[in-house]
Amino acid sequence: AQSVTQLGSHVSVSEGALVLLRCNYSSSVPPYLFWYVQYPNQGLQLLLKYTTGATLVKGINGFEAEFKKSETSFHLTKPSAHMSDAAEYFCAVSGDYGGSQGNLIFGKGTKLSVKP
Amino acid sequence: ETGVTQTPRHLVMGMTNKKSLKCEQHLGHNAMYWYKQSAKKPLELMFVYSLEERVENNSVPSRFSPECPNSSHLFLHLHTLQPEDSALYLCASSLGQGSGNTIYFGEGSWLTVV
């Protein structure tokens, strides 16, 4: 079965500092990996996704993530945090399993706080 | 601005009430989903419709009843709910149901069962 583990339910950084949100996955098939962001009182917005090809994926708002198969990881980074980045971030995996194609399995989420 | 619109945004209902959540997508997609987001659990897939046919019912209690009259609309009918059903219900859609297809979410409907 596929699963996603996000290390750290809360991460706090200072404005201008590096953002690193960790995600590890488990999958018996080649995974498709996603990062979504949820701002307060809103739905989920896609930040970026990895399907095939280049392992370094660039997304919106300056975020990027690198797929590392050997480490089963898909960590999300941003070089310089902005106050507007404060939100909850979800890592998700999708793949063919049990006939339920295309469904996302989500991690528990990481809340990012940005200090002035 | 979102291509997936959910109404109402907030709903308070008693345990004996019957209510419905509505979702409409303006993206030309042909797959639609209901997810449940509660404080204590990760996002949970509830139902999947592909080409208006239900293809997934993820062990959801029968007090939740989905309806997909066409590829643009999805409903979640609610009756005799329990307080533990209070959560954010997210509708989503995608173009096709294949792995790797991006799923687009609405802003959610906050449900409180009293």
Interface of B with A (CB under 8 A): 2, 4, 6, 31, 33, 42-43, 45, 48, 55-56, 90, 92, 94, 96-108
> Which chain B residue shows the shortest CA-CA distance from A42?
B107
Mutate to test the interface with B, among A88, A103, A106 (most CBs of B within 10 A): A103
Q: What is the mean pLDDT of residues A78-82?
A: 97
Mutate to test the interface with B, among A3, A101, A105 (most CBs of B within 10 A): A101
- Read off the pLDDT band of A42 (50, 70, 90): confident
pLDDT of residue A30: 77
Determine whether the interchain pair B103/A104 forms a contact, defined as Cβ–Cβ distance below 8 Å: yes
- Read off the pLDDT band of A105 (50, 70, 90): confident
pLDDT of residue A98: 44
- Segment A83-102, tens digit of pLDDT: 999 999 999 998 654 444 45
Terminal alpha carbon distance of chain B? 31
Determine whether the interchain pair B105/A101 forms a contact, defined as Cβ–Cβ distance below 8 Å: no
Q: Residues A60-78, buried b or exposed e (16+ Cβ, 10 A)?
A: eeebbbebeeeeebbbbeb
Max Cα distance, chain B (Å):
40
- Read off the pLDDT band of A2 (50, 70, 90): confident
Give, for all 114 residues of chain B, the pLDDT tens digit: 569 999 999 999 999 889 999 999 999 999 999 999 998 788 888 988 887 777 777 789 999 999 999 999 999 999 999 999 999 999 999 987 766 788 899 999 999 999
Determine whether the interchain pair B101/A43 forms a contact, defined as Cβ–Cβ distance below 8 Å: no
- Segment A12-25, tens digit of pLDDT: 999 999 999 999 99
- Segment A55-78, tens digit of pLDDT: 999 999 999 999 999 999 999 999
CB < 8 Å to B48, chain A: 100, 102-103
- If phi > 0 it is left, if psi is from -120 to 50 it is alpha, else beta; for residue B81 that is beta
**Cβ proximity of A42 and B9 under 8 Å:** no
CA-based nearest distance B91→chain A, Å = 9
Average pLDDT of chain A?
A: 90
pLDDT of residue A95: 60
CB < 8 Å to B98, chain A: 101-102
**Cβ proximity of B101 and A49 under 8 Å:** no
Determine whether the interchain pair A36/B99 forms a contact, defined as Cβ–Cβ distance below 8 Å: no
Determine whether the interchain pair B107/A42 forms a contact, defined as Cβ–Cβ distance below 8 Å: yes
Q: Is B14 helix (H, G, I), strand (E, B) or coil?
A: coil
Percent of chain A with pLDDT over 70: 93
